[in-house]
């Protein structure tokens, strides 16, 4: 059963960083950023959780867990170095994965289809045309990669916060 709630400023009860880990204040900022990014989606779908927590499990492959559709824990730190944080898109991707468990518990084909069913809620900004001279240097290729990564992040965020264009996700 999906926990539903009336829309509030945030449907996350509390944030909990690992205070005994290095750079705990930065972990708190990441959790706040994560809350800000997923709140519109949570409000749209009526999801409510009592806590969004940082965790650092011994299993290095475990990135997140959704406990009883009421608490979500997300790995923020590199499994081999607790002083280094994972890249933002990995953290956000884990949160999207765990929010998908609010609708579908097991890792089934339906679970993995959810992200393809949810279209962007707003049009994405148009891709900017790049002048031909920008394609000539390694520095400019780096610039192009950064622009591409930015649009990819915008697109994945749009997928997270969208509704199902007349299709119901269970």
Please give the C-alpha separations between residue 142 and each of 90, 106, 136, 145, in angstroms, as whole numbers: 20, 39, 11, 5
The answer to whether 162 touches 111, Cβ cutoff 8 Å, is no
98 included as an active-site residue: yes
Q: Indicate which residue of 32, 54, 87, 98 is catalytic.
A: 98
- Closest alpha carbon to 53 in 76, 85, 86: 76
Helix (H, G, I), strand (E, B) or coil at 92: helix
Report how far residue 26's alpha carbon sits from residue 50's, in angstroms, rounded to the nearest whole number.
21
Estimate to the nearest angstrom the gap between the alpha carbon of 8 and the chain centroid. Answer: 20
Q: Cα(158)–Cα(142) distance, rounded to whole angstroms?
A: 24
For residue 124, report the phi and psi dihedrals to the nearest 5 degrees. Answer: -75, 150
| Packing angle of the helix pair 138-160, 88-100 (nearest 10 deg) | 20
Q: Supply the residues annotated as catalytic.
A: 98
């Amino acid at each position: 059963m999906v926990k539903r709630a009336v829309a509030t400023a945030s449907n996350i009860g509390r944030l909990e960083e690992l205070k005994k880990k290095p750079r705990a204040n930065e972990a708190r900022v990441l959790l706040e950023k994560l809350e800000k990014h997923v709140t519109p989606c949570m409000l749209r779908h009526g999801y409510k959780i009592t806590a969004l927590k940082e965790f650092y499990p011994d299993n290095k492959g475990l990135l997140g867990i959704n406990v009883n559709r009421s608490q979500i824990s997300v790995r923020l730190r590199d499994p081999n170095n607790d002083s280094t944080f994972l890249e933002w898109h990995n953290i956000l991707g884990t949160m999207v994965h765990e929010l998908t468990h609010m609708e579908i518990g097991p890792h089934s084909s339906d679970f993995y289809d959810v992200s393809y069913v949810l279209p962007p809620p707003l049009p994405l900004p148009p891709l900017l045309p790049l002048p031909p001279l920008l394609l000539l240097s390694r520095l400019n290729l780096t610039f192009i990669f950064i622009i591409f990564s930015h649009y990819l992040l915008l697109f994945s965020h749009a997928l997270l916060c969208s509704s199902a264009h007349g299709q119901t996700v269970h």
